[in-house]
Structures are given as C-alpha cells and as structure tokens.
Amino acid sequence: MSYFIVFAGKGGTGKSTLASLTVKFLTERKLGPVLVVDADPNYCLPELLGVNVKQTVASVRDSALQNKPDGISLDEWLEIQINRIVEESEGFDLLVMGRPEGSGCYCAVNNVLKRILQEIAEQYRYIVVDNEAGMEHISRGIVNKIDLLFVVSTSAKSSIQAALRINELIKELNISPKKRVLVINMAFREFEDSEEQELLKNFDTIYYVFFDRDFLKLSEKGRNVFSLPKGEAIWLNFEWILEETIEQKI
C-alpha cells in the first residue's frame, strides 16, 4: 500500500527543500519505488532534485482539451499524456502539477485527473507531495490521502499562524493524517515549553531544523540536494527526523 508524505507551508519556509531531502533519504536507503509530486504552482522541486522538466500536468490538461484526437476518449488521452510526462530519475519519478486552471470549466477533466493520478500512485511505495499553502490539489481531492503530514514553518509569528491555518484546513477537508508534524525550519532556538505545549494541541510532535549558512550558499548556487556533502548540517539535522518519522514505521 502506498504511503503518502505530504509537505505544506507558507512560501519561503523551505518546505520544498525539506521535501527534496526526504526524496534523497528514501532513494539513498533504497526504500522505493518513490513518486515525487510537485503540487506547488511555483514549483522548484525539479531544480532541487536535479531534474529537467519539460511539461506539467497543467499543460497536458490544457492541450488535451484542445487537441484530443478523434476515436479516443478523454480518459484514455489524458492517461497517455500524463504517463508520458512522468520524469524518470535514479531512484524516483517526478510529476509536476503546474499552475491552477484558467477561466474555463475543468470539472470533468479534474475528475479524470483524480482517477489517473490515484492509479499512478498505486504503483509506488512512497509518494512525496510538495503542496502550496492553499492545499488546492488536496481540497479538490486530487490528493485525498495523507499518512505523514509535515507542516513547515519558520519561528516567525506570521509563519506559525499560517501553519495553524493549514492544519485547520486539513481538518475541514475531513482528511485525517496518521501523523501531523510541525517542523520549525531555519530555527535559531527551540521554543519555550509553554509555547511548545500550546502548539502540541494541534500537532503530534514538533521538530527543529536549525539555520545552516553553508546550505544557504549551496542553494544560492543552484546545486541540487544530491550534491550535498555528507557532513552538511541541514542534512544531518533533518535525516534523524526522517529516521524517527519514516523508518520507525517500516
């Protein structure tokens, strides 16, 4: 059965970086097969994972409505096109959702997409999903299961509030993750006990990933996570978190 690891958070919290480090973790331990879904319209996982993406599900969806050949159903045509754009890499496959739909009606095509993506996901042991803060693809049911939810925040008050809103949105959508984790990324300190206890009313646990200036320099140069030195602080810091949250279930 597929295990869904979903990342969500306000822009700029580093959730895509942590999602890409999760892919690194799974592939280096050969825990696959792994499907990576970049569901953020402002997608950056391809660059972080060192993959060149030519098309997105959004571009395929738009062209499918306009260029479907005669004699083939929309379901069949979309399935062919989506399978064609899954980018294969060493240890994982990547699918980029792309921008939200435009002004036309996409209800029918989204229902088809939902079925196709669920069928694709069944072929993988792990699915790592990088969402935008609004959780659009989850709210439309295209991703309808969460086993492990990482809500990523910085220690800034506005970022924490965004994390709490995301958690509430998940509740409103009647999705019950098996585990909800709040990750305070780029942290300089841990919260006081009273602050932690208040947040633990909404999450199963809280982890801290401390600020790493060396990694910041690496990311500024556009390097992917597989080029990280073995002793890189952010990798060592997040690796043990993944060992606790993922490996303990194996």
Per-residue pLDDT reduced to its tens digit, 210-236: 888 777 776 777 788 998 887 888 888
pTM, entire model: 0.90
Written as six digits, the tokens of 31 are 């825990």
d(CA 8, CA 132): 6
Indicate the domain borders of the chain: 3-49+87-99+124-249
Helix (H) or strand (E) holding 5: strand 3-9
Q: Classify domain 3-49+87-99+124-249 by CATH number.
A: 3.40.50.300
Q: Which residues of the chain have pLDDT under 70?
A: 100-110, 133-142, 218, 247-250
As a whole-number percent, the residues of the chain with pLDDT over 90 amount to 40
